[in-house]
Amino acid sequence: MDVLENIGRLEVRTAKSLTDTISFAFQVIFRMFQYRNYNSAMRMVLINQIYFTSVQILPVFLVVSIVLGSLLIGIVFQLLKQLGLTDYFGNVLMGLIVTELSPLFTVLFITLRSASAINTEMAVMKVTGEMKTLEMFRIDVINYLLIPRIINGIVSLVLLSSLFAIVSMFSGILFSRIIFGISMDGYINILLNSANLFDLTIAMVKCVALGFFITLIPIRFGLRASSEFTSIPISVSGGMVSVFTAIIIIEVLSFLTKLL
Amino acid sequence: MDSEDELNAAFWKALESNRLQTAPVSVDVPLISNQDVWMNIALIKQYHENMPRSQAQKLALHALQRLDLAHIAYKRNPALTTEERFCVYLLRACMVQNAMIIIDRPFKIIPQLRNSSFIFQTLKKVDDFYATCHIYDYKWMADKYGDL
């Protein structure tokens, strides 16, 4: 009976956490569309966040994208040649690397660098009483802290994911010439013929969803910290596990959408 | 008031009495640690009055200058002395419109002070920034406030 009780309790807790996150997400989305929330203080936080997440990261991100993108393109093209599937390289490039791997790589990069930092920052602010300061001065935590970070998550993920895709496509020019002997014009032609608007739309929606949840979940977990410093690592580890679960769920949902 | 509980209760009651105007100065209402001093002061105007960043920054720097503290504008909370921190708490509170400042145990913020002259001199220098000011402290601290 104990085992069944534990399973039941776990199910109830998971379901409650999921419904809480979804209702919180709706609350945040509703606030995001209220123009009056975009005051000078909030805009300042938004600009700083975009700078920290998208601009500061650029040199490292570019180097990693060039190395990883070229490596992926090189391996995939070589495999296609060995399997005699040269005709499909455009579809593979657009369908696998641009619409699947670019968002996945970018979301992992941003999660490791920024989502963990956001989770810690929120938890520290809660523990040191800074959240109470905001409350005392009638500053809404959702408007001032959450919305700029979530918008930043969405913007950064869409932009950096597009950057990764562009870098990969440029690497493709080089590798298609070396491996398949295709000229640049021919390469661009194949790429344009392989581009599928539906797939690109799904990829864009996926980036928006990933950007939203990889910032919302760490913030929620950070705000759950108690007044003790020992609650910070607990909050961060819980937040990160949930972020990775959310990434997997979104990936599966986008795959199912493509199948349907 | 004699006990900490009584004092805390009175402080929070005063804060709740007029949420629009009350502005706390207390160790329990700390500065935002990932923001510079000027940002902490300007935040209130930027958020509640949508004051542009440059204008709010100018106002914060002007307020700091009044207390001869312009040099701490770009410092953060941990780098401040207790006196500087008290002044920043006070200036932040002054940014509330028609501020009704409530100072909670000033000697808890600046423990090394021997009397209240520093506190009153500071309040005097910025008296046009706030409407009223109330200080909450223990009865047995009355000596530190002199003839007030």
Contacts of B41 in chain A (CB under 8 A): none
Strand order in the sheet with B22-25: B22-25, B99-104, B130-136
pLDDT tens column, A126-156: 999 999 999 999 999 999 999 999 999 999 9
A146 vs A210: CA distance, rounded Å: 16
Of residues B15, B31, B56, nearest to A40 (C-beta): B56
Of residues B33, B43, B96, nearest to A41 (C-beta): B43
pLDDT of residue B89: 96
pLDDT of residue A217: 93
Asked if pLDDT for residue B100 goes beyond 70, the answer is: yes
- The tokens for B143 are 């000596």
Do the chains contact at B31 and A133, CB–CB below 8 Å? Answer: yes
pLDDT of residue B3: 78
Contacts of A145 (CB under 8 A, 6+ apart): A45, A122, A125, A134, A219
A62 vs A81: CA distance, rounded Å: 28
Confidence of residue A72 (pLDDT cuts 50, 70, 90): confident
Asked if pLDDT for residue B147 goes beyond 80, the answer is: no
Cα A211 to chain centroid distance, Å, stands at 4
3-class DSSP string for B70-132:
HHHCCCCHHHCCHHHHHHHHHHHHHCCCCEEEEEECHHHHCCCCCCCHHHHHHHHHCHHHEEE
Do the chains contact at B50 and A136, CB–CB below 8 Å? Answer: no
Cα B29 to chain centroid distance, Å, stands at 10
pLDDT tens column, A97-132: 888 899 999 999 999 999 999 999 999 999 999 999
pLDDT tens column, A7-31: 898 889 888 888 888 888 898 899 9
pLDDT tens column, A204-214: 999 999 999 99
* Over residues A163-175, mean pLDDT: 87
* Over residues A56-73, mean pLDDT: 89
Do the chains contact at A44 and B23, CB–CB below 8 Å? Answer: no
Q: Is B67 on the interface with A (CB under 8 A)?
A: no
Asked if pLDDT for residue B146 goes beyond 80, the answer is: no
pLDDT of residue A175: 82
* Over residues B17-24, mean pLDDT: 85
Confidence of residue A1 (pLDDT cuts 50, 70, 90): low
Of residues B24, B31, B50, nearest to A39 (C-beta): B50
Which residue bears the tokens 């995939």?
Answer: A76
pLDDT tens column, B26-52: 999 999 998 999 999 999 999 999 999
Reported ipTM: 0.89
